[in-house]
């Protein structure tokens, strides 16, 4: 967001125009970029995201009845969409209102019951479906909006994240992990967030990178594989974990140092995994599990490196992460490999990798300070020459998480 205040003033006017009333609450929740730690979040591992300056505004006002009216200034053709507190169910033609109703429903399940209906207006500048999590930004903005409007004082930011994830999992039917919602709710200006997705313990790590900066590149491709491949990978990891646990239970392989059966693959160290790998006869299962375990280890080391400004090591781990997603987890795609290869070949680029679930979307790049312009020009031109696509560039991380505005 270039200028939050200006945009907010514009949206307040819009609200008045659409609903004929003043908004009584307004919030902003950011999208996110994951610096490293991909596909670890449903394996009980670490992720290392930070919040973007791009995000979603939600403005609202309580009503005297039980109607929920929703308007997205990004999808004006839909007009005002209407539902009711008495009909918090998912329908085929919900479009974005599924996320809104889903969060209201999940809040209600947790005991935060909205006492009246409401008129909501949203607008965001996170590109949809590009791996920067516009869906989490939308969900978290709605969570914070209802907390604000209905004075749900006991609703904490981590809880908003959990409610939002529940909305996405159980209302929208997308089995995402907790990362996206958690960073959107819990981001901190100038910091990335090291989150243990198994325990939800977290640590804000200051980004002490005076000599370097992160730049995000949108490949502007999205292959339709995303949903099905995501579920396949989850199933493969579950199977690998089950085989390892069974072998540990009947003594064929040693228990991990913790003395407890692992609840997720990422609880295993690389050494423990290699000792257990014999039970994964299927090469695909072995490769998937190996990615999860080593990516988790890289994430811990990367956060450690960044916390004392070791951008060289961070960049190296980013490159290894991309190679692992490409070769072991097989969630990259041709355009994304081209994009990261172009970047990684530049001497002013410390590291480049795909970020997000895969099969397109965005790359995240750590580059030396002062080269942003050159990076845009060179990477932009070379990528277009090789793919015919025009990439988009984003900067300005890391920012604050969801907040009232
Ligand atoms: P991602 O989270 O990677 O951006 P998703 O497919 O998970 O991609 O979420 C994108 C969906 O979120 C869109 O199709 C749309 O339904 C919804 N969405 C997000 N932000 C908005 C918005 N500002 N207005 C309307 N719909 C939105
Ligand atoms: Mg999403």
Residue carrying structure tokens 């280890």: 297
Give every CB contact of residue 311 below 8 A, 6+ residues apart in sequence.
209, 211, 212, 305, 350, 366
Residue 124 lies in a domain: yes
Dihedral of CA atoms 309, 310, 312, 314 in degrees, nearest 10, equals: -90
Domain with 28, as residue range(s), is 2-34+49-209+400-404
- Residue 129 alpha carbon, nearest atom of ligand 1: 8
In the numeric block, which tokens belong to residue 240?
């690998």
Residue 384 lies in a domain: no
- Please work out whether the CB of residue 34 comes within 6 Å of at least one atom of ligand 1: no
* Ion ligand 2 neighbours, Cβ < 5 Å: 135
Which is nearest to 131 in space by CA: 48, 47, 57, 216? 216
Ligand 2 centroid–CA 57 distance in Å is 16
- Give nearest CA residue, ligand 1 atom 12: 135
Question: What CATH number has the domain bearing residue 140?
Answer: 3.30.230.10
- Kindly list the distances between the CA atom of residue 393 and the CA atoms of 50, 84, 179, 348, 379, in Å, as whole numbers in the listed order: 17, 40, 23, 17, 10
In the numeric block, which tokens belong to residue 348?
């002013």
Ligand 1 centroid–CA 227 distance in Å is 14
Q: What gap in Å lies between CA 62 and CA 168, rounded to an integer?
A: 24
State the total domains in the chain.
1
Q: How many residues does the chain have?
A: 405
- Please work out whether the CB of residue 184 comes within 6 Å of at least one atom of ligand 1: no
Tell me the pLDDT of the chain (405 aa) as tens digits.
668 899 999 999 999 999 999 999 999 999 999 999 999 999 999 999 999 999 999 999 999 999 999 999 999 999 999 999 999 999 999 999 999 999 999 999 999 999 999 999 999 999 998 889 999 999 999 999 999 999 999 999 999 999 999 999 999 988 888 999 999 999 999 999 999 999 999 999 998 788 999 999 999 998 876 668 888 999 999 999 999 999 999 999 999 888 999 999 999 999 999 999 999 999 999 999 999 999 999 999 999 999 888 999 999 999 999 999 999 999 999 999 999 999 999 999 999 999 998 999 999 999 999 999 999 999 999 999 999 999 999 987 789 999 999
Query: Greatest CA separation found in the chain?
Result: 69
Which is nearest to 237 in space by CA: 258, 200, 262, 215? 262
Q: How far is CA 313 from the centre of its chain?
A: 23
Q: Compute how many other C-beta atoms are within 10 angstroms of the C-beta atom of residue 333.
A: 20
- Please work out whether the CB of residue 135 comes within 6 Å of at least one atom of ligand 1: yes
Predicted pLDDT at 381? 98
Q: What gap in Å lies between CA 117 and CA 326, rounded to an integer?
A: 47
Residue 135 lies in a domain: yes
pTM (predicted TM-score): 0.95
Residue 268 lies in a domain: no
- Give nearest CA residue, ligand 1 atom 8: 129
Q: How far is CA 163 from the centre of its chain?
A: 15
- Give nearest CA residue, ligand 1 atom 9: 135
Residue 237 lies in a domain: no
Q: What gap in Å lies between CA 224 and CA 158, rounded to an integer?
A: 31
Residue 234 lies in a domain: no
Q: How far is CA 85 from the centre of its chain?
A: 28
In the numeric block, which tokens belong to residue 172?
């929208």
Q: For a ligand 1 pocket test, name from 34, 78, 123, 134 the mutation site with the most ligand atoms within 8 angstroms of its C-beta.
A: 134
Residue 76 lies in a domain: yes
Ligand nearest to the CA of 165: 2
- Give nearest CA residue, ligand 1 atom 5: 129
Predicted pLDDT at 202? 97
- Kindly list the distances between the CA atom of residue 186 and the CA atoms of 134, 180, 191, in Å, as whole numbers in the listed order: 16, 10, 10
List pLDDT tens digits, range 344-356: 999 999 999 999 9
**Residues 176, 31, 93: CA angle, nearest 5 degrees:** 60
The full 3-state SS of the chain, as one line of letters, equals: CCCHHHHHHHHHHHHHHHHCCCCCEEEEEEEEEEEECCCCCCCCCEEEEEEEEEEEEEEEEECCCCEEEEEECCCHHHCCEEEECCCCCCCCCCCCHHHHHHHHHHHHHCCCCCCCCEEEEEEECCCCCCCCCHHHHHHHHHHHHHHHHCCCCCCCHHHHHHHHHHHHHHHCCCCCCCHHHHHHHHCCCCEEEEEECCCCCEEEEECCCCCEEEEEEEEEEECCCHHHHHHHHHHHHHHHHHHHHHHHHCCCCCCCCCCCCCCCHHHCCHHHHHHHHHHCCCHHHHHHHHHHHHHHHHHHHHHHHHHCCCHHHHHHHHHHHHHHHHHCCCCCCHHHHHHHHHHHCCCCEEEEEEECCCCEEEEEEEEECCCHHHHHHHHHHHHHHHHCCCCEEECCCCECCCEEC
Residue 256 lies in a domain: no
């Amino acid at each position: 967001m270039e200028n939050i205040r200006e945009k907010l003033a514009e949206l307040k006017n819009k609200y008045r125009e659409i609903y004929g009333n003043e908004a009584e609450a307004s919030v902003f929740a950011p999208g996110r970029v994951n610096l490293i730690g991909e596909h670890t979040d449903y394996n009980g591992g670490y992720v290392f995201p930070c919040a973007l300056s791009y995000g979603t505004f939600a403005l609202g006002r309580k009503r005297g009845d039980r109607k929920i009216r929703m308007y997205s200034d990004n999808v004006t053709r839909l007009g005002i969409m209407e539902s009711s507190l008495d009909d918090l169910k998912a329908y085929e033609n919900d479009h974005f209102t599924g996320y809104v109703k889903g969060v209201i429903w999940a809040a209600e399940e947790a005991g935060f019951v909205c006492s009246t209906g409401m008129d909501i207006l949203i607008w965001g500048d996170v590109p949809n479906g590009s791996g920067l999590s516009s869906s989490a930004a939308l969900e978290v903005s709605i969570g914070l909006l209802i907390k604000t409007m209905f004075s749900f004082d006991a609703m904490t930011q981590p809880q908003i994240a959990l409610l939002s994830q529940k909305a996405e999992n159980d209302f929208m039917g997308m089995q995402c992990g907790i990362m996206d919602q958690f960073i959107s709710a819990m981001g901190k200006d100038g910091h990335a967030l090291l989150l243990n997705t198994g325990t939800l313990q977290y640590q804000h790590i200051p980004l002490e990178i005076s000599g370097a900066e992160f730049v995000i590149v949108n490949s502007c491709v999205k292959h339709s594989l995303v949903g099905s491949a995501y579920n396949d990978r989850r199933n493969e990891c579950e199977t690998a974990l089950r085989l390892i646990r069974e072998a540990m239970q009947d003594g064929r392989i040693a228990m991990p140092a913790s003395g407890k059966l692992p609840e997720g693959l990422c609880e295993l160290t690389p050494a423990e995994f290699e000792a257990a790998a014999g039970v994964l006869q299927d090469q695909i299962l072995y490769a998937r599990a190996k990615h999860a375990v080593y990516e988790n280890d890289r994430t811990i080391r990367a956060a450690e490196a960044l916390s004392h400004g070791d951008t060289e090591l961070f960049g190296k781990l980013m490159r290894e992460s991309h190679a692992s997603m490409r070769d072991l987890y097989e969630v990259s795609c041709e355009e994304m490999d081209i994009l990261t290869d172009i970047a990684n070949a530049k001497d002013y680029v410390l590291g480049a990798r795909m970020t997000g679930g895969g099969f397109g979307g965005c790359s995240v790049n750590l580059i030396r300070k002062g080269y942003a312009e050159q990076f845009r020009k060179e990477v932009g031109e070379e990528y277009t020459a090789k793919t015919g696509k025009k990439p988009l560039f984003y900067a300005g991380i890391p920012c604050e998480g969801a907040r009232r505005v």
